[in-house]
Amino acid sequence: MKLKNNYHIAVVGAGVVGVEMIRVLRQRNFPIEKIKVLARSARAMTVDGQTYQVEPISAESFNGVDIALFAGTEGEKGAAVTFAAEAVKRGCVVIDNGADFRMEKDVPLVVPEVNGNDVKKHKGIIANPNCSTIQMVVALAPIHKKVGIKRIIVTTLQASSGAGKAAVEQLKEEISMIASGGFNNVHVNTTNKAMSQQLAYNVFPHIGGFVEGDYTSEEWKLVKETHKIMHDNKIKISATTVRVPVRTGHSESVYIETRKPITVAAIKKLLLKAPGVILVDDPKAALYPMPKDVEGKDETFVGRIRQDAFIKNGFWLWVVADNLRKGAASNAVQIAEVLIKK
């Protein structure tokens, strides 16, 4: 891809992440010459008052395109499997939000605040990590760089929008049914069944399929993607991923054990300086990150930092981010920003 003043951009996908990608490109003033939206079928879509004509995707759609942002879908095989190679053949750089290429050896897996230099290693495709991985590594990378992290135990509390628009509609429909007095068999009677269980007035520890060791694929993503991004396969990581009745914004309870001693005050000082991190940590004043406060923002918010009462080098952190933005669209656009600077 040649460096130039303005770029021809394709956004592949017209769902919640595709919409957010268009919004973020505009909000971050990405240098765009032309933008096209590609999906399975033609239609019109409106984002923040501007109408875009969605074109049916084909290999020829990528002729003349400099950068293609593939929106992807959580847990699904994305369009990039079919069209990424065709796009690259035509001189386009693919930034894929789907899971299909993340663990490929020759595909960089990038969070710009953590391993932005890995963009230089691309051979046409750059992978966007999983939403829950992104916010966790943004918060932990400064600590790992300073004193090393030998162990991570994380429980994620993931919003409905992480499973797509239909999952958000399922939550809304279930809440409406319960509010009207129909609590029994809500999931059975719901028109939208994007999620495996009722989510309204409920949580369930099932995101992705159950695979090795009875962990879900979403839980293994946190392990394998963190190792790749942090360039450290020795970190011991264990995860539980939970779907919660929140529209947008993933929260994570993260426990770490550091290799070298450090204090809570020193961790806070590191995070105050860390790119892409906002520290909100005054629990006595009821100030800590919450999903309702981070929606629409690109930063990762961290609070409730405290030392384990029994383990010298053990610490807890509470990490929250907008999963559609930093967890998907914004991180992809930030990768594109690094790409054009290189």
What mean pLDDT value characterizes the chain?
95
pLDDT of 286 reads 98
Distance, CA of 88 to CA of 20 (rounded, Å):
24
Tell me the average pLDDT across 131-141: 98
Q: What percentage of the chain has pLDDT greater than the value 90?
A: 91
State which amino acid sits at residue 139: A
Tell me the average pLDDT across 84-104: 96
Whether the Cβ atoms of residue 216 and residue 207 lie closer than 8 Å to each other: yes
User: Is the model's pLDDT at 216 over the cut of 60?
Assistant: yes
User: Is the model's pLDDT at 74 over the cut of 60?
Assistant: no
Q: DSSP labels for 87-116?
A: HHHTTPEEEE-SSSSTT-TTS-B--HHHHG
Distance, CA of 165 to CA of 139 (rounded, Å):
27
Distance, CA of 121 to CA of 286 (rounded, Å):
44
Tell me the average pLDDT across 259-269: 98
Burial 135-168 (b: 16+ CB within 10 A, else e): bbbbbbbbbbeebbbbbbbbbbbbbbbbbbbebb
Q: What is the pTM of this model?
A: 0.95
- Tens of pLDDT, residues 243-253: 999 999 999 99
pLDDT of 76 reads 46
Tell me the average pLDDT across 174-199: 88
Q: Which residues contact 16 (CB under 8 A, 6 or more apart)?
A: 161, 164, 165, 168, 324
pLDDT of 342 reads 60
Span of 19-28, 78-87, 181-190, 289-298 with lowest mean pLDDT: 181-190
Tell me the average pLDDT across 312-326: 98
- Give the pLDDT band of residue 192 (cuts 50, 70, 90): confident
The residues annotated as belonging to the active site are 131, 250
User: Is the model's pLDDT at 75 over the cut of 60?
Assistant: no
- Tens of pLDDT, residues 150-165: 999 999 999 999 998 8
pLDDT of 272 reads 98
Tell me the average pLDDT across 47-52: 95
Rounded alpha-carbon distances, angstroms, from residue 5 to 30, 34, 235, 310, 341: 10, 12, 41, 56, 11
Smallest Cα–Cα separation from 159: which of 210, 113, 203? 203
Residue 56 bridge partners (DSSP): 39
Tell me the average pLDDT across 106-110: 98
User: Is the model's pLDDT at 103 over the cut of 90?
Assistant: yes
Tell me the average pLDDT across 159-187: 91
